[in-house]
Amino acid sequence: MGESHVRGMLRRLSLPGSIVLLGAALAMSGCAAPVDPAATRESLSDVTEDPAPPEAAELYDAELHPEPVVDPVDCDPYLVITARGTGEPSQGQLLSPVARTISQARPGDVGVLDLDYPADTDVKEGGTLGVRTLIDVLNVQADACPAQRFVLLGYSQGALVVGDGLAEPEARMVGATVGTVAEEALERVLAVVFYGDPRFVGAEEYNVGSFDPETDGLLPRPEGALDAVEERVRDYCVAGDFICQSSLDFDEEPHVEYYSNGMQGDGAAFVITRLDDAGAEFREDGGERTPPSTPTPRPRS
Protein backbone atom coordinates (compact mmCIF):
# COMPACT_ATOMS: atom_id res chain seq x y z
CA MET A 1 0.00 0.00 0.00
CA GLY A 2 1.68 3.21 -1.18
CA GLU A 3 1.91 6.54 0.59
CA SER A 4 -0.39 8.24 -1.92
CA HIS A 5 -3.08 5.67 -1.09
CA VAL A 6 -2.65 6.32 2.62
CA ARG A 7 -3.06 10.04 2.05
CA GLY A 8 -6.21 9.33 0.11
CA MET A 9 -7.57 7.32 3.02
CA LEU A 10 -7.56 10.38 5.28
CA ARG A 11 -10.78 12.23 4.73
CA ARG A 12 -11.46 15.51 6.49
CA LEU A 13 -15.11 15.84 7.38
CA SER A 14 -16.72 19.29 7.37
CA LEU A 15 -19.34 19.46 10.10
CA PRO A 16 -21.94 22.25 10.28
CA GLY A 17 -20.89 25.02 12.63
CA SER A 18 -24.27 26.74 12.98
CA ILE A 19 -25.89 24.14 15.20
CA VAL A 20 -26.15 25.13 18.86
CA LEU A 21 -25.23 22.53 21.46
CA LEU A 22 -28.26 21.88 23.64
CA GLY A 23 -26.23 20.40 26.49
CA ALA A 24 -24.24 17.33 27.43
CA ALA A 25 -27.48 15.33 27.64
CA LEU A 26 -28.04 15.76 23.89
CA ALA A 27 -29.47 12.51 22.58
CA MET A 28 -26.97 10.45 20.62
CA SER A 29 -27.94 8.47 17.56
CA GLY A 30 -26.50 5.74 15.43
CA CYS A 31 -26.98 2.07 14.73
CA ALA A 32 -24.55 -0.53 15.98
CA ALA A 33 -22.56 -2.28 13.28
CA PRO A 34 -22.88 -6.08 13.28
CA VAL A 35 -20.26 -7.73 15.46
CA ASP A 36 -18.98 -11.30 15.13
CA PRO A 37 -17.60 -11.95 18.63
CA ALA A 38 -15.70 -15.12 17.71
CA ALA A 39 -14.04 -13.57 14.67
CA THR A 40 -13.22 -10.37 16.54
CA ARG A 41 -11.70 -12.23 19.46
CA GLU A 42 -9.70 -14.47 17.13
CA SER A 43 -8.33 -11.49 15.18
CA LEU A 44 -7.11 -9.86 18.37
CA SER A 45 -5.68 -13.09 19.75
CA ASP A 46 -3.64 -13.50 16.57
CA VAL A 47 -1.65 -10.41 17.56
CA THR A 48 0.04 -12.33 20.36
CA GLU A 49 -0.20 -15.89 19.05
CA ASP A 50 1.66 -15.23 15.79
CA PRO A 51 5.17 -13.92 16.62
CA ALA A 52 6.06 -13.04 13.03
CA PRO A 53 6.11 -9.28 12.37
CA PRO A 54 3.66 -8.04 9.76
CA GLU A 55 4.85 -6.72 6.41
CA ALA A 56 3.70 -3.29 7.52
CA ALA A 57 6.34 -3.26 10.26
CA GLU A 58 9.05 -2.77 7.61
CA LEU A 59 6.91 -0.88 5.10
CA TYR A 60 6.10 1.82 7.67
CA ASP A 61 9.32 1.67 9.69
CA ALA A 62 10.00 5.29 10.65
CA GLU A 63 13.76 4.89 10.45
CA LEU A 64 13.68 3.27 7.02
CA HIS A 65 10.92 5.53 5.71
CA PRO A 66 10.97 8.81 7.68
CA GLU A 67 8.88 10.82 5.20
CA PRO A 68 5.37 11.27 6.68
CA VAL A 69 2.65 9.19 5.04
CA VAL A 70 0.17 12.08 5.32
CA ASP A 71 -0.11 15.70 4.27
CA PRO A 72 -1.45 18.36 6.65
CA VAL A 73 -5.15 19.19 6.74
CA ASP A 74 -6.78 22.51 7.67
CA CYS A 75 -5.51 24.36 10.72
CA ASP A 76 -8.78 24.45 12.63
CA PRO A 77 -8.32 25.42 16.30
CA TYR A 78 -9.30 21.87 17.29
CA LEU A 79 -8.84 18.64 15.35
CA VAL A 80 -10.90 15.61 16.42
CA ILE A 81 -9.43 12.34 15.15
CA THR A 82 -11.67 9.26 15.18
CA ALA A 83 -10.47 5.66 14.89
CA ARG A 84 -13.34 3.25 14.24
CA GLY A 85 -13.77 -0.33 15.40
CA THR A 86 -13.31 -3.53 13.42
CA GLY A 87 -15.73 -3.71 10.51
CA GLU A 88 -17.38 -0.37 11.22
CA PRO A 89 -18.24 1.80 8.21
CA SER A 90 -16.57 5.15 7.78
CA GLN A 91 -19.98 6.82 8.10
CA GLY A 92 -22.38 6.22 10.98
CA GLN A 93 -19.80 4.78 13.34
CA LEU A 94 -20.04 4.83 17.14
CA LEU A 95 -17.78 7.86 17.34
CA SER A 96 -19.65 10.00 14.80
CA PRO A 97 -22.20 11.45 17.27
CA VAL A 98 -19.42 12.08 19.80
CA ALA A 99 -17.41 14.08 17.27
CA ARG A 100 -20.52 15.88 16.07
CA THR A 101 -21.46 17.01 19.59
CA ILE A 102 -17.95 18.32 20.18
CA SER A 103 -18.13 20.21 16.88
CA GLN A 104 -21.49 21.72 17.80
CA ALA A 105 -20.02 22.98 21.07
CA ARG A 106 -17.41 24.99 19.15
CA PRO A 107 -19.13 26.12 15.94
CA GLY A 108 -16.63 26.69 13.15
CA ASP A 109 -13.64 25.77 15.30
CA VAL A 110 -13.53 21.97 14.98
CA GLY A 111 -12.23 19.81 12.16
CA VAL A 112 -12.94 16.07 12.22
CA LEU A 113 -10.60 13.54 10.65
CA ASP A 114 -11.58 9.91 10.20
CA LEU A 115 -8.44 7.79 10.51
CA ASP A 116 -9.47 5.53 7.67
CA TYR A 117 -7.09 2.68 8.39
CA PRO A 118 -8.30 -0.80 7.31
CA ALA A 119 -10.03 -1.68 10.65
CA ASP A 120 -10.34 -5.27 9.44
CA THR A 121 -9.53 -8.58 11.11
CA ASP A 122 -5.83 -8.42 10.19
CA VAL A 123 -5.05 -6.33 13.24
CA LYS A 124 -1.27 -6.65 13.01
CA GLU A 125 -1.12 -5.31 9.44
CA GLY A 126 -3.91 -2.75 9.61
CA GLY A 127 -3.17 -1.68 13.15
CA THR A 128 0.47 -1.01 12.26
CA LEU A 129 -0.66 1.26 9.43
CA GLY A 130 -3.14 2.93 11.78
CA VAL A 131 -0.53 3.70 14.41
CA ARG A 132 1.92 5.11 11.83
CA THR A 133 -0.82 7.22 10.27
CA LEU A 134 -1.99 8.60 13.63
CA ILE A 135 1.55 9.48 14.71
CA ASP A 136 2.27 11.22 11.42
CA VAL A 137 -1.01 13.16 11.53
CA LEU A 138 -0.23 14.50 15.01
CA ASN A 139 3.36 15.39 14.19
CA VAL A 140 2.59 16.95 10.80
CA GLN A 141 -0.30 18.97 12.21
CA ALA A 142 1.75 20.18 15.18
CA ASP A 143 4.39 21.42 12.76
CA ALA A 144 1.98 23.01 10.27
CA CYS A 145 -0.53 24.47 12.73
CA PRO A 146 1.11 26.05 15.81
CA ALA A 147 -2.17 26.74 17.63
CA GLN A 148 -4.07 23.54 16.86
CA ARG A 149 -5.12 21.20 19.67
CA PHE A 150 -6.13 17.54 19.35
CA VAL A 151 -8.91 15.26 20.56
CA LEU A 152 -8.53 11.51 19.97
CA LEU A 153 -11.47 9.09 19.94
CA GLY A 154 -11.16 5.31 19.55
CA TYR A 155 -13.61 2.41 19.62
CA SER A 156 -12.58 -1.25 19.91
CA GLN A 157 -9.64 -1.82 17.51
CA GLY A 158 -9.54 1.96 17.08
CA ALA A 159 -8.87 2.32 20.81
CA LEU A 160 -5.95 -0.10 20.44
CA VAL A 161 -4.55 1.99 17.58
CA VAL A 162 -4.87 5.31 19.41
CA GLY A 163 -3.53 3.95 22.69
CA ASP A 164 -0.54 2.28 21.05
CA GLY A 165 0.17 5.45 19.08
CA LEU A 166 0.41 7.42 22.33
CA ALA A 167 2.46 4.79 24.16
CA GLU A 168 6.18 4.22 23.90
CA PRO A 169 7.15 1.58 21.27
CA GLU A 170 8.08 -1.03 23.87
CA ALA A 171 4.56 -0.88 25.35
CA ARG A 172 2.76 -1.42 22.03
CA MET A 173 1.09 -4.50 20.60
CA VAL A 174 1.29 -3.07 17.06
CA GLY A 175 3.41 -0.39 15.44
CA ALA A 176 6.62 -0.76 17.42
CA THR A 177 8.69 0.40 14.42
CA VAL A 178 6.59 3.33 13.21
CA GLY A 179 8.01 6.16 15.31
CA THR A 180 6.67 8.21 18.21
CA VAL A 181 4.53 11.27 18.79
CA ALA A 182 6.73 14.33 19.20
CA GLU A 183 6.64 15.91 22.67
CA GLU A 184 5.22 19.14 21.27
CA ALA A 185 2.39 17.27 19.57
CA LEU A 186 1.68 15.15 22.66
CA GLU A 187 1.34 18.27 24.77
CA ARG A 188 -1.41 19.48 22.43
CA VAL A 189 -3.59 16.41 22.94
CA LEU A 190 -6.42 17.81 25.07
CA ALA A 191 -8.54 14.68 25.47
CA VAL A 192 -8.55 10.96 24.68
CA VAL A 193 -11.74 8.86 24.82
CA PHE A 194 -11.90 5.09 24.39
CA TYR A 195 -14.87 2.71 24.16
CA GLY A 196 -14.56 -1.09 24.35
CA ASP A 197 -10.77 -0.94 24.49
CA PRO A 198 -8.99 -4.30 23.88
CA ARG A 199 -6.01 -2.94 25.86
CA PHE A 200 -8.17 -1.98 28.85
CA VAL A 201 -6.51 -2.28 32.27
CA GLY A 202 -9.04 -2.52 35.08
CA ALA A 203 -6.83 -0.83 37.68
CA GLU A 204 -6.36 2.46 35.82
CA GLU A 205 -7.98 5.47 37.49
CA TYR A 206 -9.20 6.99 34.23
CA ASN A 207 -11.63 4.10 33.59
CA VAL A 208 -15.39 4.65 33.54
CA GLY A 209 -18.26 2.14 33.49
CA SER A 210 -19.74 -0.98 35.07
CA PHE A 211 -16.58 -3.05 34.46
CA ASP A 212 -14.93 -5.37 36.98
CA PRO A 213 -11.70 -3.57 38.04
CA GLU A 214 -9.99 -6.92 38.51
CA THR A 215 -10.61 -7.91 34.88
CA ASP A 216 -8.55 -6.55 31.99
CA GLY A 217 -9.15 -6.50 28.26
CA LEU A 218 -8.04 -9.14 25.77
CA LEU A 219 -4.67 -7.43 25.21
CA PRO A 220 -4.06 -5.32 28.34
CA ARG A 221 -1.44 -2.62 27.96
CA PRO A 222 1.31 -2.39 30.59
CA GLU A 223 -0.04 -0.53 33.59
CA GLY A 224 1.06 3.10 33.37
CA ALA A 225 1.69 2.96 29.60
CA LEU A 226 -0.43 6.09 29.15
CA ASP A 227 0.89 7.99 32.16
CA ALA A 228 1.97 10.88 29.92
CA VAL A 229 -1.68 11.64 29.13
CA GLU A 230 -3.55 9.89 31.96
CA GLU A 231 -5.33 13.01 33.22
CA ARG A 232 -6.69 13.55 29.70
CA VAL A 233 -8.08 10.00 29.21
CA ARG A 234 -11.50 8.42 29.71
CA ASP A 235 -11.65 4.67 28.99
CA TYR A 236 -15.27 3.43 28.91
CA CYS A 237 -15.96 -0.26 29.53
CA VAL A 238 -19.17 -2.06 30.50
CA ALA A 239 -19.64 -5.37 32.29
CA GLY A 240 -19.75 -8.32 29.93
CA ASP A 241 -17.95 -6.60 27.05
CA PHE A 242 -15.88 -9.50 25.71
CA ILE A 243 -13.28 -7.06 24.33
CA CYS A 244 -12.47 -4.89 27.36
CA GLN A 245 -13.40 -7.54 29.94
CA SER A 246 -11.91 -10.67 28.33
CA SER A 247 -15.25 -12.46 28.51
CA LEU A 248 -15.58 -15.96 27.06
CA ASP A 249 -19.29 -15.33 26.68
CA PHE A 250 -19.59 -14.38 23.00
CA ASP A 251 -22.51 -12.03 23.55
CA GLU A 252 -22.05 -9.05 21.23
CA GLU A 253 -24.62 -6.89 23.02
CA PRO A 254 -22.37 -5.40 25.72
CA HIS A 255 -19.72 -4.42 23.13
CA VAL A 256 -22.27 -2.33 21.23
CA GLU A 257 -24.08 -1.05 24.33
CA TYR A 258 -22.11 2.22 24.04
CA TYR A 259 -24.48 3.24 21.24
CA SER A 260 -27.39 3.50 23.68
CA ASN A 261 -26.16 3.68 27.29
CA GLY A 262 -25.33 7.40 27.40
CA MET A 263 -21.56 6.97 27.29
CA GLN A 264 -21.32 8.71 23.91
CA GLY A 265 -22.78 11.84 25.52
CA ASP A 266 -20.62 11.42 28.62
CA GLY A 267 -17.48 11.14 26.51
CA ALA A 268 -18.41 14.24 24.51
CA ALA A 269 -19.10 16.17 27.74
CA PHE A 270 -15.66 15.19 29.07
CA VAL A 271 -14.01 16.49 25.91
CA ILE A 272 -15.98 19.75 25.98
CA THR A 273 -14.95 20.29 29.60
CA ARG A 274 -11.33 19.76 28.59
CA LEU A 275 -11.75 22.38 25.85
CA ASP A 276 -13.29 24.78 28.38
CA ASP A 277 -10.37 24.23 30.75
CA ALA A 278 -7.88 24.92 27.95
CA GLY A 279 -9.66 28.19 27.17
CA ALA A 280 -9.69 29.19 30.84
CA GLU A 281 -5.97 28.47 31.11
CA PHE A 282 -5.36 30.74 28.15
CA ARG A 283 -7.33 33.57 29.77
CA GLU A 284 -5.51 33.11 33.08
CA ASP A 285 -2.22 33.47 31.23
CA GLY A 286 -3.35 36.91 30.13
CA GLY A 287 -3.55 35.88 26.50
CA GLU A 288 0.21 35.53 26.23
CA ARG A 289 -0.05 32.27 24.34
CA THR A 290 -1.62 31.98 20.90
CA PRO A 291 -5.38 31.59 21.48
CA PRO A 292 -7.08 28.60 19.87
CA SER A 293 -9.12 30.86 17.57
CA THR A 294 -6.12 32.62 16.03
CA PRO A 295 -5.87 31.90 12.28
CA THR A 296 -3.07 29.51 11.44
CA PRO A 297 -1.31 28.60 8.17
CA ARG A 298 -3.29 26.66 5.59
CA PRO A 299 -1.99 23.20 4.67
CA ARG A 300 0.22 22.75 1.67
CA SER A 301 -1.46 21.23 -1.37
Can you point out the beta strands (E) in the chain? 11-13, 78-83, 110-114, 149-155, 189-195, 207-208, 233-236
Mean pLDDT of 248-270: 91
Distance CA 159, CA 155 (A): 5
Distance CA 143, CA 72 (A): 9
Which pLDDT tens digit goes with each residue over 124-168? 999 999 999 999 999 999 999 999 999 999 999 999 999 999 999
Contact 137, 10 (CB under 8 A): yes
Residue 16, helix vs strand vs coil: coil
Considering only residues 19 and 89, tell me which one the structure prediction assigns the higher pLDDT: 89
Q: Provide the CB-side half-sphere exposure for 91 (13 A, CA).
A: 3
Distance CA 11, CA 245 (A): 32
Which pLDDT tens digit goes with each residue over 30-56? 556 666 666 776 777 778 877 789 999
If one counts every other C-beta atom within 10 angstroms of the C-beta of residue 63, the result is 8
DSSP 128: H
Res 296 pLDDT > 60? no
Considering only residues 82 and 39, tell me which one the structure prediction assigns the higher pLDDT: 82
Mean pLDDT of 248-271: 91
